[in-house]
């Protein structure tokens, strides 16, 4: 399976290196508007540098990894669909749900495999939790609790064009909530505030937020986000069901602790998302490659990308209006 990489930024480098290291795939071409970025990754992986337009239509390429800026995703997916490529696209498909719907129609018409990059589904801890949940260990799901806190806020320029915390950051948690609830939420209530940096508020966004989701049968998910966590990248999930509680905790930097007069101190949790989710990114790309090679449908699907975006839009609207938003 021959792969072309579109975008050699931070996340593109991750996927590019994982593609190059995969035993069943070859990274053949890399495009990036920053020439040095593509060249450096090409030198490291043995791929060649090529113009994006060429990669998208290159008949020798089977699959595209779309790691370009968000506002190009939907167009590139459609171009890949027209060219008959299998497509892996980083989340989100687009910041606009209508645009996503239109894009997914093109994908459906073309019949190409499309997978959206919700990496957390592939974290070994969260994946194990989900497997055990689906095996019935916790019984029927009642309450899902997701705590997700970044170690530090992004640059304020990024905030302005991110679509806002709910679409940029919480979308990962909304995807996990959909997955773990086992039912679609029908009601979204969100609150948020700029408590960390007033500049975030001036940019029209929030840096601290929480959401309540409810499904038709009454299952509840609560999510909280913060753009700051002094102790590392806080990523926890709990699923409370009729038989008990399945929980996935944080990953500490080491297992070392010190017991002294000030108490017993364990290490901070892993700080950087690339470290925390390194195994998840490998498993995610392997899932894409395996699905395409075996002709099975990859997941998360385009519909998953749309589903999470609809919830993120609803949360944004709820937080801005102070009203509860119905969806679905």
Which residues ranging from 175 to 194 are in contact with its own copies (CB under 8 A)?
A: 187, 189, 191-194
87 within 8 A of 77, measured Cβ to Cβ = yes
Q: How far apart are CA 319 and CA 289, in angstroms?
A: 38
294 binds its own copies (CB under 8 A): no
Min separation Cβ 214 and its own copies, Å:
4
323 binds its own copies (CB under 8 A): yes
User: Angle formed by the axes of helices 97-110 and 302-321, to 10°?
Assistant: 170
Q: How many CB atoms lie within 10 A of CB 322?
A: 9
Instruction: Please list, residue by residue across 306-321, b when 16 or more beta carbons sit within 10 angstroms of its beta carbon and e when fewer do.
Output: bbbbbbbbbbbbbbee
88 within 8 A of 19, measured Cβ to Cβ = no
149 binds its own copies (CB under 8 A): yes
135 binds its own copies (CB under 8 A): no
Question: Of the listed pieces 62-70, 229-237, 298-306, 309-317, which binds its own copies according to CB under 8 A?
Answer: 229-237
Question: Of the listed pieces 57-65, 68-76, 205-213, 304-312, which binds its own copies according to CB under 8 A?
Answer: 205-213
Question: Of the listed pieces 85-93, 104-112, 121-129, 285-293, which binds its own copies according to CB under 8 A?
Answer: 121-129
For the chain, the maximum distance between any two Cα atoms, rounded to a whole number of angstroms, is: 67
The two three-digit tokens of residue 84, written as one number: 């008959």
Chain residues 247-286 in contact with its own copies, contact rule CB under 8 A: 247-252, 254-269
Out of 39, 110, 143, 303, name the contact with its own copies by CB under 8 A.
143
Judged by DSSP in three states, 170 sits in: helix
Task: Specify the residue, 27 or 100, whose C-beta has the smaller distance to its own copies.
Answer: 27
243 binds its own copies (CB under 8 A): yes
Min separation Cβ 167 and its own copies, Å:
19
Sheet holding 86-90, edge to edge: 48-49, 26-31, 2-6, 63-66, 86-90, 114-117
208 binds its own copies (CB under 8 A): yes
Min separation Cβ 162 and its own copies, Å:
19
Binding residues for its own copies, rule CB under 8 A, total: 71
């Amino acid at each position: 399976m021959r792969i072309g990489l579109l975008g050699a930024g931070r996340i593109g480098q991750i996927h590019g290196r994982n593609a190059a290291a995969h035993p069943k795939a070859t990274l053949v071409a890399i495009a990036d508007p920053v020439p040095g970025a593509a060249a450096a990754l090409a030198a490291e992986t043995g791929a060649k540098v090529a113009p994006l337009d060429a990669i998208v239509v290159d008949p020798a390429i089977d699959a595209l990894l779309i790691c370009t800026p968000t506002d190009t995703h939907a167009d590139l997916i459609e171009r890949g669909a027209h060219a008959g490529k299998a497509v892996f696209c980083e989340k989100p498909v687009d910041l606009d749900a209508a645009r996503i719907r239109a894009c997914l129609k093109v994908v459906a018409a073309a019949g190409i495999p499309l997978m959206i990059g919700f990496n957390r589904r592939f974290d070994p801890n969260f994946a194990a939790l989900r497997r055990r949940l689906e095996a019935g260990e916790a019984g029927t799901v009642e309450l899902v609790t997701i705590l997700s806190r970044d170690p530090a806020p992004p640059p304020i320029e990024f905030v302005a064009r991110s679509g806002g915390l709910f679409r940029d950051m919480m979308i990962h948690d909304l995807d996990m909530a959909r997955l773990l609830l086992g039912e679609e939420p029908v009601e979204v209530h969100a609150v948020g505030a700029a408590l960390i940096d007033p500049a975030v508020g001036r940019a029209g966004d929030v840096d601290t937020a929480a959401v309540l989701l409810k499904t038709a049968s009454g299952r509840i998910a609560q999510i909280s986000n913060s753009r700051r966590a002094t102790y590392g990248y806080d990523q926890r999930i709990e699923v409370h069901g009729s038989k008990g509680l399945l929980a996935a905790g944080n990953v500490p930097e080491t297992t070392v602790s010190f017991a002294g007069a000030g108490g017993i101190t364990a290490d901070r949790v892993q700080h950087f998302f690339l470290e925390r989710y390194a195994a998840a990114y490998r498993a995610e790309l392997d899932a894409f490659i395996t699905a395409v090679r075996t002709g099975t449908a990859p997941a998360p699907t385009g519909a998953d990308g749309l589903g999470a975006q609809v919830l993120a839009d609803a949360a944004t609207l709820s937080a801005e209006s102070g009203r509860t938003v119905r969806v679905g």
